[in-house]
Structure formats: structure tokens, C-alpha cells
Amino acid sequence: MYAPRAMRDLPTTPSRRARAALVLTALLPACPEREPDRDGAAADAAKDRFDATDSPDATDSPDAASDLLDAAADVAGDGDVADGPLDAVDAAADGPPDAPACMSVPWRTAQVSSGGNWGGSTAIAVDPRGVAHIVLHRAVYGSYGARELLYASPGATGAWELEGITTGTGNDRDDTTDLAFDSAGAPHVVFPGLVDGGPHPSIHATRADGRWVFTALRGGNTWASLAVDGRDDVHVVSGQTEINYATRAATGTWSHEAQRSARCVSVAAAADGAVHVSYATSPASPMTSELFHATRSPSGAWAFERVDALGFRVEFSCETMVGLGPAGAVHIVYTTATGLRHALRSPDGAWRTGAAPAAGRSPSMAVDDRGGVHLAFGEPLTHAYLPPGGAWRTDLIDARPGGVPGADTSIAVDRTGAVHIASYDESARTSPGYPVYYTTGRVCDP
């Protein structure tokens, strides 16, 4: 979901201005025209912390991508842990014209959990404080077919801590999972589940008062996607043969709608509650499927438009991913018979399509606050980036034998532009097998 963050005015007290100057000095240690701080400690501290990120290490803490901004906030003396990185960004934004818009951070990887004896989908999202959280599946040893759905968060020491959401049987935890946060920091998860051994509805789970609360939603569950808008309304789109849409106001109850035939659904929500859905049609054989974009206005009116031909008939293997950029831009990444493609609808309503980088397994997409498009896919684990108005660039994150090939990826981008990726390593097929990894870094425009 795209929700632009208004810049916060810096207080005008002298002490605040002094701390902001120190933050800016720490962020810009290489600018020769700037006066150094009195003893050089601010720049040295920030540089030391930045240098420490140069070598990827599987034991790094999960918030390594924010170390540079955290160091600057620490030097400034801001006692508010949650606001420190944002204060640093605000100070840089109000700085001189030559202040850099982005500082690259090398990719770093940490293991989150063993995945059990086979993998499953992952979901990653960033909470309002800028902290990444992951939902993952893990097999239960000694119980054939049983799966755990787990919620992973970094603890006080930076080590990943696992919390059980639910346990199921069979393949009812082996399809899509999605995660999003509301403005209060409450997680919202959607996943497939069984009801009395019968149908597989999508299940919405949220944590309230220290426990998980579950709601079974109508419709099938092969594909499911979730978004939270700027009003904290929750939107879920799921289904196997049609668009099943469910929504719940922040203080209300769930309502359900069924729309036209669809597969491979993905949902994004704008700040005002407008919903955007990408999907593939499922025509009768031998006709080929087409990519569509659907919108639901805040008043509940649906509109549908064809975007592109896919060149094959969709069964159960396809991907569509939708995301929102600034000023109403809509991005869709989708699989066709000739490869992965990217479609952009500009604010004037015109669609432009083009090839995306050749993707491996399980591509996932996120759109940053500037309108840059980020992809993650495996195997091996790879990141692709399309800056606003630029061309695609691709970075190989990890190709080591037994490293992080990156099956079942998910991706998120925080307000600082740091990229967060979760993935399974399906090359590690021995017990405990299929570990889940967290990878983070920051890329900048060329």
C-alpha cells in the first residue's frame, strides 16, 4: 500500500537544531564543503557503523539495513528509539541542496528459522516503526503433514523470535500467505485453512490483547492477498475461480462480495480506501488468459480494464502483483508466456507495458515511496530495481552453494528505502532443512 508520509517540521529550539546539525554531519561525512563537528566524533561514529556493514554475515541482526541511520540518530542524542531513524531522514531532507537522497547499504543475510521438511510461502511487511516482520510455515516433526504457521519478529537483542499463530494438517498451509500492519502496529495475516475438514476458506488472523483472533472468510484459498488502507480498513482478495473480496472497517465487521472469474489475484489499497486488484482471467480452453486491473472506489463501485494478453491459459501457475506509487500511479508485474512483464498506469490513465528482468522462482514485488519498483526472486536470490523514469538494474544477492537460493520470496520496502526480503532455502534439504532467511540492503539510483 502506498501512503505518503508528510515531512515533519523540526522544532526550533536551539538544542534541537544542534542535534539536527550533528545528524546531518553524521549522514554526510564525505562532503568537503561542510564544516566538521568540533571533535570529529559524530562523523567517525557514523563512518565506523557504516564500515561495519561492508561484509555480509549470516549472523547479522535483522535490522542491519538501518544501522547507518540508527548510528546517526544515536550521535544526535535522540532518546526516542522509534523516532531516531525518522529524525535523521527529516534532518537530511531539510539540509543543503547537495545532501544525498540515498546511501547504498550492502546486502546482509540472517537465518530466521528452520523451515521443516518442506517449504511454503513467506510473507514480509514493515511495521509503523520501520521494523520488518515475517510470517512463515514450518513442518511439525513426528506428525505427518502437520504444519505450523509462525510469526517472526526481531527481539530486544536483534535475534529473531518465533511465535506460533496456528497449526494445521495436510496442505492447508501450503498456499499463499500475506501480511500487513495497521497504523497502531497490529499485524494482519491471511492464509488458507480448513473448516471441519471441508472447504479451504481464507483465514484472517490478527493479534489483539496478546492472542491471535481468527475469522474464516468466504471463497476459495489458492490465491490470497491482503492490504490495509490509510483509514485502517482491512481488505482481503482471495479465490481460485473468482474474485472474493472481503473488507472490515477498523471498528466494524466483515462484509463480503463476489466478482467476476479470476485467478492469481493481488490487492493494494490507497490511503482513501480505494482498492486495486490485479488478476488473470480463466477462459474456456483453448482460449488464452488476459491480465486485468480492477478498482473498487471508496463508495463500493467496481470498474474493470484489460491490461495485456498473457499468451497462455492460466491454470494454477501464474503470478500477478499490484502496487501503488505516488500521485495515483499503478504498477503490475505479471508472468506471460514470454516471461515477466511490468505494466504502469500513469495518473492520466494510460497503460504502458514492457519487459521486466528475467525472473527465477517465486517473484515478489514492492513499490517504494518514490515510485521505484523492487522485485525479489530466486534461484539464486536476486533483487531487481526500476527507479522512477529509469531502466531496470539487477543485483545477484547470494549465489553461494548451500546459500540462499531464494525459493518462495516476499519483499517489502521501508520509508528509508531499505529493502527487506524473506525466502526459503530449498537447497538445504537435510534436517532441519528448508531454513528461512531474512535479507536486507539499500540500493540507490545510478
- Pull the grid cell for residue 373: 519498483
* Residue 175 and residue 317 in one domain: yes
Range of 425's domain? 108-442
pLDDT at position 192 is 79
Tell me the CATH number at 296: 2.120.10.30
**Does 88 lie in the same domain as 119?**
no
Domain end position, chosen among 42, 68, 93? 93
Residue 214 CA, distance from chain mean position: 22
Could you tell me if 87 and 112 lie in one domain? no
Domain end: 45, 66, 93, which one?
A: 93
Quote the pLDDT of residue 354: 96
Q: Which of 185, 184, 232, 225 is nearest to 204 (CA)?
A: 225
pLDDT in the model for residue 125: 98
Residue 272 lies in a domain: yes
206 shares its domain with 232:
yes
- What's the pLDDT score for residue 224? 87
Cell of 253: 465487521
121 in the same domain as 57: no
* DSSP string across 223-269: EEEEEE-TT--EEEEEESSEEEEEEE-TTS-EEEEEEEE-EEEEEEE
Residue 1 lies inside a defined structural domain of this protein: no
Instruction: Please report the sign of the dihedral spanned by the C-alpha atoms of residue 267, residue 270, residue 275, residue 280.
Output: negative
Query: 94 near 101, Cβ under 8 Å?
Result: no
pTM (two decimals):
0.76
In a domain, 285, yes or no: yes
What pLDDT, on the 0 to 100 scale, is given for residue 132? 98
Same domain assignment for residues 299 and 375: yes
Domain annotation covers residue 9: no
Within a domain: 121: yes
155 shares a domain with 20: no
Q: Residue length, the chain? A: 446
Are residues 295 and 414 located together in one domain of the fold?
A: yes
Phi-psi region of 77 (alpha: psi -120 to 50; beta: other; left: phi over 0): left
- pLDDT, position 226: 96
State whether 282 and 410 are in the same domain.
yes
* Residue with grid cell 503490475, as numbered in its chain: 332
Statement to judge: residues 309 and 221 lie in one domain: yes
Please give the pLDDT value at position 148. 82
Burial per residue of 164-178, b for 16 or more beta-carbon CB atoms within 10 angstroms, e otherwise: ebbebeeebbbbbbb
pLDDT attached to residue 191: 87
Instruction: Supply the pLDDT for residue 221.
Output: 61
Q: Which of 48, 68, 93 is the last residue of a domain?
A: 93
- Same structural domain, 146 and 81: no
Number of domains the chain contains = 2
Do residues 257 and 133 both lie within one domain?
Answer: yes
Flag whether 8 is in a domain.
no
CA-based nearest residue to 235, from 188, 192, 282: 188
**Would 209 be classed as within a structural domain?**
yes
- Profile the chain (446 residues) by mean pLDDT over runs of 10 residues: 34 40 36 38 41 38 40 35 35 40 87 70 94 87 68 93 81 71 96 66 89 86 87 90 88 89 91 95 87 96 96 84 94 94 93 91 92 92 94 88 77 96 75 80 86
Let me know if residue 39 belongs to a domain: yes
